[in-house]
Amino acid sequence: MTTTDSLSTPSTTLEVWNPDLRSSNITSTTLFPPGSQFSVRVNLTDPAPIAGFDITLNYNITNGPNILQAVKTGSELSGGLFDPNTTPAGCSVVVLRNQIDIPPGRIRFAAVMSGGCVANGVGTLFTITFNVTGWGASFIDIVRTNSGGQAITTIVSGPPSVSPVPYQPVDARFQNVPGIPPVALFTYNPSFPVKGDIVNFNGRESFDPISGDTISRYLWIFGDGSVPQAGVNQTHVFVNPVQFPISGNFTTTMIVWDSTNNLPGRINVVVDVTAGIGQTDSLNWSGYAISAAPGTIVTDVKGSWIVPSIVGACGSVDQHSSFWVGIDGLVSSTVEQLGTESACIKGTATYFAWYEFYPQVPHRIQAIRASPGDTIYAEVRYSAGQFNLTMVDWTTGKSFTKLGSVKSPQLSSAEWIAEAPSSRTGIVPLADFGSVKFGQDLPGVSGTCYATVGGVAGPIGSFGSRVFQITMVAPDFTVKAQPSTLTTDLSSFTVVWKWAGK
C-alpha cells in the first residue's frame, strides 16, 4: 500500500499507515508496550477530486484478548485533505460520523466538504490514535462491503457519484511480542458465486514460514454480519437480510495461529456475490435473455447451436420448433433474429434456416440447408441504424448475410431461444426436438453465446441480474421446454423438450 510517506505512487489506493515506522506493519517489542500510544493515518493515493468519504476500520479482530483501544482526540482531520482549518474560502467540512467501538472493535469516520469544494491529490483522510492495553498481535483493517444500497467504505467524488478504490489485501498489523506470524492463504469456489450459492472455503494452504509447524487454529469472518466460524474448511451462504441483502461484495477474513508462538496471521479477500440470474416463464420461449439496463443498448448478439433431429415419427398434426438468436422482443414490439427450424410438416420431418425482422414476415435462407447435427453460428449486429444478420453452417461451410432495418428498434434485449412458433390461430404444438445445445462449450464455437450491452461484451451469465432464464410453459403451467443452468464459463446451456402442448 502506498501513502504520502512512500517512495512509489501507483494508481488510487486506500491504506492504513503508521508515520513513525513509515509502514503499515506496526511491529515493535520496545516502542509499544502496554500503556503506550500510537497513531495511524488512513491515506488516499492518486484519487480523482473527492467531496467526501465514509471509511470503516475493524481492529482487535483476532478473537483473543483485546490489546488495543481506539481513542477520540478531536483532531482526527488535522493535517489531512479535509482539515477544517485549510478549506478554501466559502467551504466547510462537516463530520458525519466519528464512531468508536460501535459495535466493539469497529471505527467509522465520515466527512464531507460543503460549498461545492473538493479535495485533490495525495493525502490523509483522517488519523486514529490507539492506546496499547496488552501484549500480543492485532490487525487494523479497512472494511469494504457494498450490498443492496448499503455500503461501508466509500469515496465520494462530487455528489452523487462514487469513486471506486481498489481493495488492498493487507492493511495494518500491530504486534508488540517477538516472533514471525504464520501465512494465511485460502481458496474458494465457485469463483463467481451468485445469491444463494453455497461457497466452499479451504484454508489448508496456510503455513508457518519459519518452523514449518502446523497451524493450530483457523477463524473465518465472512463480512456479512454472520457469526465467525472455526475450522480449516468452511461452507457459507452470504445471507444476512437484517444488515445486508444477499448480493454484494464482502470482505472475507481468515485468521490462523501457529502452534509454536500462538501468533496470528490473516488474509482478507473480497468475495463478489452477484445478484444472479432471474427466472421467468413464457408460453412460447425457452432459453436465456438479457435485459439491457436503462440508458444502455444491445448492439451485438452471437450464438451457436447444433440443429436437433425430430424425435420419433411425425404425426398428422404439424409441429414446429425454432432455435434462434436475436435482439429485442423481450419487452419490445420488434425482433431482429435468425435461426433454424426442426419441424413436422404434413407428416415429414423438415429442417430449414430462416431470418426475420419482426413484425415483417419471416424468410427462409436458401443458402443453408441446416441438416440435423449441423453446427450453426449466428450473429445479429446493430450499427448506424441497420441490423447485419450473419449465419454460418460450420458443418458445410455455407454462409448467409442480410442487412435490414425495423421502425424504432428499442435495442433493449438479447436472446438465445428455443421457440414454439405462432400461426394465425395461436402458438403451434412444439415439435419434439429432444434437446438442443447452445454456446461455445457444447457446439464448440468460440465466443458464443455472447452479447455486447452498453459497450461491454461478455457471455450470457456475465450480465448478472440483467439475465433471465426462461422456461416454456402451457397456460396450465405444464412445462413444455426447460433450459439448463449455464456452464461454469457462463456461456452455454441446453434446452430439453418436455411436452408438445395442445
Enumerate residues 6+ apart whose C-beta is below 8 A from 175: 26, 27, 136, 137, 138, 181, 263
- Which of 229, 258, 275 represents a domain boundary (last residue)? 275
Residues 260 and 396 in one domain: no
- Which of 259, 275, 291 represents a domain boundary (last residue)? 275
Assigned domain for 21 exists: yes
CATH number at residue 284: 2.60.120.700
Residues 79 and 154 in one domain: yes
Residues 287 and 256 in one domain: no
Alpha-carbon separation of residue 253 from 15, 172, 184 (angstroms): 17, 14, 10
- Which of 245, 275, 305 represents a domain boundary (last residue)? 275
d(C-alpha 144, C-alpha 55), whole Å: 9
| Residue (of 294, 198, 280) closest to 467 by Cα position | 280
Residues 348 and 475 in one domain: yes
Assigned domain for 59 exists: yes
Residues 404 and 450 in one domain: yes
What is the structure's pLDDT at 134?
Answer: 94
Assigned domain for 502 exists: no
Assigned domain for 369 exists: yes
What is the structure's pLDDT at 405?
Answer: 93
CATH number at residue 159: 2.60.40.680
Residues 136 and 224 in one domain: no
What is the structure's pLDDT at 458?
Answer: 93
Residues 26 and 113 in one domain: yes
CATH number at residue 234: 2.60.40.10
Residues of the chain with pLDDT under 50: 1-11, 148-149, 158-160, 166-169, 241-246
Assigned domain for 88 exists: yes
Alpha-carbon separation of residue 193 from 19, 57, 86, 448, 490 (angstroms): 39, 26, 45, 22, 12
**In which residue are the cell numbers 488516499 written?**
44
Residues 314 and 241 in one domain: no
Tell me: the pLDDT tens digits for 31-76? 899 999 999 998 887 667 788 888 888 898 777 789 999 999 988 9
Residues 17 and 98 in one domain: yes
Tell me: the pLDDT tens digits for 474-493? 888 899 999 999 998 899 99
What is the structure's pLDDT at 326?
Answer: 97
What is the structure's pLDDT at 160?
Answer: 45
- Residue 145: give the domain boundaries: 1-178
The 3-state DSSP composition of the chain as helix, strand, coil percent (nearest 5) reads 0, 50, 50
d(C-alpha 82, C-alpha 59), whole Å: 23
Predicted structure pTM score: 0.54
| Residue (of 357, 390, 397, 354) closest to 374 by Cα position | 397
Bond before 178 cis per omega within 30 degrees: no
Assigned domain for 101 exists: yes
Domain count, the chain: 3
Residues 269 and 298 in one domain: no
Assigned domain for 315 exists: yes
Residues 152 and 201 in one domain: no
Residue 447 DSSP symbol? T
Interior/surface letters 258-291, b for 16+ CB within 10 angstroms, e for the rest: beebebbbbbbbbbebbbbbeeebbebbbbbbbb
Assigned domain for 333 exists: yes
d(C-alpha 9, C-alpha 1), whole Å: 9
Residues 160 and 298 in one domain: no
